[in-house]
């Protein structure tokens, strides 16, 4: 199975000047755990995850004051729609993260998460277990 089969095509893009509260509100409304940050001044694409927001709040920082640019991961590993789910899972495990931005021709076309991969793998594993019984 390929990344294109698992990825969410709902790609929330935000700017670096958004507050963390604005980002969290947009992520919540779209039911996504990550936003692609478009920041041409800082080299292009980054990612902000729910974990980044949680860490900031846990440090006592105000989500109404903190800006996305201060919490964006810019050293991003990108996937392509043609990657296998095994390749995506390996990249996530190796890098210690839970989301991959999916690029096609340099543009974000999706985001694949650990949850997306599990959702695809779980039915296949159940089918294998049922046929082995």
How far apart CA 76 and CA 133 sit, in angstroms, is 43
The closest alpha carbon to 56, from 112, 18, 7, 96, belongs to 18
The list of the chain residues with pLDDT below 50 reads none
What pTM did the predictor assign? 0.85
CA end-to-end span of the chain, whole Å?
Answer: 24
* pLDDT given for residue 126 in this prediction: 56
Q: Is 44 left (phi over 0), alpha (psi -120 to 50) or beta?
A: left
Measure the CA–CA gap between 124 and 6, rounded to whole angstroms.
13
Identify whether the C-beta of residue 131 lies closer than 8 Å to the C-beta of residue 32. Answer: no
The pLDDT assigned to 133 comes to 55
């Amino acid at each position: 199975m390929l990344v294109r089969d698992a990825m969410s095509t709902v790609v929330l893009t935000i700017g670096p000047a958004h507050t963390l509260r604005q980002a969290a509100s947009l992520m919540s409304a779209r039911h996504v755990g990550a936003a692609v940050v478009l920041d041409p001044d800082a080299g292009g694409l980054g990612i902000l995850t729910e974990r980044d927001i949680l860490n900031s709040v846990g440090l006592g920082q105000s989500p109404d004051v903190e800006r996305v640019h201060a919490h964006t991961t810019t050293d991003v590993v990108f996937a392509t729609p043609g990657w296998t789910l095994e390749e995506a899972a390996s990249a996530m495990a190796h890098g210690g993260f839970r989301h991959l931005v999916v690029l096609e021709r340099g543009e974000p076309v999706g985001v694949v998460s650990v949850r997306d991969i599990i959702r695809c793998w779980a039915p296949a594993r159940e089918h294998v277990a049922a046929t082995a019984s």
